[in-house]
Structure 1
Amino acid sequence: MTPPTTDGAVSNKQAKKQRRREPPPDPAPLPGLVDAHTHLAACGGRDADAVRAILDHAESVGVGQVVTVADDMIDARWAIAAAEWDERAFAAVALHPTHAAELDDAARAELETMVTHPRVVAVGETGLDHYWPGRSEDCASPAVQEDAFRWHIDLAKRVGKPLMIHNREADRDLLDVLADEGAPETVIMHCFSGDRNVARECVERGYVLSFAGTVSFANAAELRVAAELVPDDQILVETDAPFLTPHPYRGQPNQSYCLPYTARSIAETRGVADTVMADLLGANARRVYQLPLR
């Protein structure tokens, strides 16, 4: 370990590590926002008190409701529990594409029951991930992911709830599967990461594009072009917490209370007032997920 400098100060490397462990400061409040995609359990929300504390913190800066999302069956149970513990939380349930190999008969039966829960507002996150196969022994193969994705598409159509998409380095294959299966009425491209051409195709298909903290990153010029061209009624904002903390706090722990940073970045990109953007983003989320008004 690098020792402290002789004057008692820590090294730049130590300071950077320490900063990465610290949560960002509270943003200035921006009322009306909804976090369209977070992971409360991964943020520490594994009991009613912890969920309440996370959501109290978020509400103090204007984030009144959140959709907490599952990666696997354990997370799906946590997500529904959180939505039962606190009226500000709603759930989305599915098997993440990297966990697609876990979609056995028992998981299918449980998910089919879960999606009928009144606090479950979407089927997700599901989709395709071409980044992790070959990098992780536990990741489902692309073929297994596609089979599971097709099943989730059908499930969303059967229950009439939005389909929440995870897409990592699989733009063309994912869009082709959606076209082949026939997309549900509402498709949400969670943490949109495509270029302007993918954004235009998604917009033309009527999909909703949800932007996370990545849209504020210095190297995300193309993503900001995508965020600028999306029509007013097809854009959402999310944290994907505890990941993807927005600039200038990239790499630090993320939570729903950080959402105003990303909303303000989108407002700047689109050339509108932050309060106008917040009202629009919140209204879109409440409409897309059919959330109760607050």
Structure 2
Amino acid sequence: MADASHVRSRSDQGRRDRSWPDEPVPLAVPVYDNHTHLEVADGDDPLDLSTQLARAVAAGVRGVVQVGTDVATSIWSAELAAVDPRVLAAVAIHPNDAPELAAAGELDAAIETIAALASRPRVRGVGETGLDFFRTGEDGRDAQFAAFEAHIDIAKRSGTALQIHDRDAHDAVVETLLRVGAPEKTVFHCFSGDEDLARICAENGWYLSFAGTVSFSNAAGLRAALAVAPRELVLVETDAPYLTPTPFRGRPNAPYLIPYTLRSMAATLGVHEDELAADITANTERVYGSWDDGLDA
């Protein structure tokens, strides 16, 4: 079993309501959380892994993709996925960490570790990787591009999905994918684009994963993107413990809250939640395969 030595706590507790949101009415048709960070403890009373995953299953969340953002959390994610049937892993160096590692001469070694982890049976994604022009300035962009292209290569060589972090960098992300060739299964994690980006994704067969942000009152553009996205390319995620859906925005997030986001998406699309859940489940399994395969004995 993966130990909890890399579980992190957030430091912004106490400034607002940090209690856990109410448990939702369970989904009748189970889905998967495409992107979560179980290693980040949150809330006034942080939930342990067992409680987190048990609550998720009770809410109709059959499994999660646990996402690493550096070497330590990627190893932790891979080890957890190896022994827990509810968890698959994605591994990567986060784009905001790439410049610092490059400056220290450690980026190549870190990416080699990610490549080795990507060969494990229950590591089904490389990510989150991509470009972030919000937190990283011009001086760090060369390292971000180098890391992004290296991760794309790892995903293609390992046959795993690519999970993209794209913040204020839509054009550059698309240009990079088209220039070097996107992996067969490419996912825009926490999709943050508009209708134009949704159409580009549709043209290229790239998946759009929607988080709690799609339920925010000021997110009309995201809902418009969802409305034009082909249903067969839509996924759902928490990005927990961040981006908690309405009506609990600002409180801690966890996989058990997926039903709130999915129901918001179903309302936007004017479809029954069971229909949307069934489509998203099929899409997620097409991207990552079965949660039942590759477990350590």
TM-score by length of 1: 0.88
List per-residue Cα deviations over 1:136-184 (Å, max 9, x = no partner): xxx9811110011011111111111111100000000110011110111
List aligned pairs for 1:139-288, cutoff 5 A.
141-288=140-287
Q: Matched residues in 2 for 1:163 and 1:85: separation?
A: 23
List per-residue Cα deviations over 1:178-224 (Å, max 9, x = no partner): 11101111100000000111111111111000000000000000100
Q: Report the equivalent of 1:78.
A: 76
List aligned pairs for 1:20-31, cutoff 5 A.
20-30=17-27, 31=29
> Are 1:61 and 2:59 matched, yes or no?
yes
User: Does the 8 Å CA contact 1:20/1:252 hold for their aligned counterparts?
Assistant: yes
User: Does the 8 Å CA contact 1:43/1:241 hold for their aligned counterparts?
Assistant: no
Show structure 1 runs of 5+ residues with no match: 1-16
Give the secondary-structure state (helix, strand or coil) at the position aligned to 1:96: coil
Give the secondary-structure state (helix, strand or coil) at the position aligned to 2:191: coil
User: Does the 8 Å CA contact 1:192/1:211 hold for their aligned counterparts?
Assistant: yes
Q: Report the equivalent of 2:110.
A: 107
Query: Which of 84, 87, 90 is the aligned partner of 2:85?
Result: 87
Q: After TM superposition, where is structure 1 displaced by more than 3 Å over at least 4 residues in a row?
A: none
C-alpha displacement at 1:52, in angstroms? 2.2
Q: Compare CA radii of gyration and give the structure with the larger one.
A: 1
List per-residue Cα deviations over 1:8-50 (Å, max 9, x = no partner): xxxxxxxxx6752111100110131100000010147xxxx93
Q: Matched residues in 2 for 1:90 and 1:275: separation?
A: 24
User: Does the 8 Å CA contact 1:116/1:159 hold for their aligned counterparts?
Assistant: yes
C-alpha displacement at 1:268, in angstroms? 0.5
User: Does the 8 Å CA contact 2:98/2:107 hold for their aligned counterparts?
Assistant: no
List per-residue Cα deviations over 1:91-121 (Å, max 9, x = no partner): 0001110011325232122112100011101
Query: In the alignment, residue 28 of structure 1 is paired with which amino acid?
Result: V
Q: Matched residues in 1 for 2:95 and 2:15: separation?
A: 33
Give the secondary-structure state (helix, strand or coil) at the position aligned to 2:235: strand
List per-residue Cα deviations over 1:213-245 (Å, max 9, x = no partner): 000000000100111111111000000000000
Q: Matched residues in 2 for 1:42 and 1:140: separation?
A: 29
Query: In the alignment, residue 235 of structure 2 is paired with which amino acid?
Result: L
TM-score by length of 2: 0.87
Query: Which of 112, 119, 123 is the aligned partner of 2:122?
Result: 119
Q: Matched residues in 2 for 1:223 and 1:76: separation?
A: 29
Query: In the alignment, residue 268 of structure 1 is paired with which amino acid?
Result: A
C-alpha displacement at 1:86, in angstroms? 1.4
Q: Report the equivalent of 1:13.
A: none
Judging changes above 3 Å, is the alpha-carbon distance between structure 1 residues 251 and 91 closer, same or farther for their aligned structure 2 residues?
same
User: Does the 8 Å CA contact 1:52/1:86 hold for their aligned counterparts?
Assistant: no
Judging changes above 3 Å, is the alpha-carbon distance between structure 1 residues 19 and 29 closer, same or farther for their aligned structure 2 residues?
farther
Q: Report the equivalent of 2:132.
A: 129
Which structure has more helix as a fraction of its residues? 1
Identity of aligned residues (%): 45
C-alpha displacement at 1:291, in angstroms? 2.1
User: Does the 8 Å CA contact 2:243/2:250 hold for their aligned counterparts?
Assistant: yes
C-alpha displacement at 1:85, in angstroms? 3.5
Query: In the alignment, residue 17 of structure 2 is paired with which amino acid?
Result: R
Query: Which of 41, 50, 53 is the aligned partner of 1:52?
Result: 50
Show structure 2 runs of 5+ residues with no match: 1-13
How many residues get paired? 271
Q: Matched residues in 1 for 2:74 and 2:15: separation?
A: 32
Q: Matched residues in 2 for 1:119 and 1:62: separation?
A: 22
Q: Matched residues in 1 for 2:275 and 2:210: separation?
A: 17
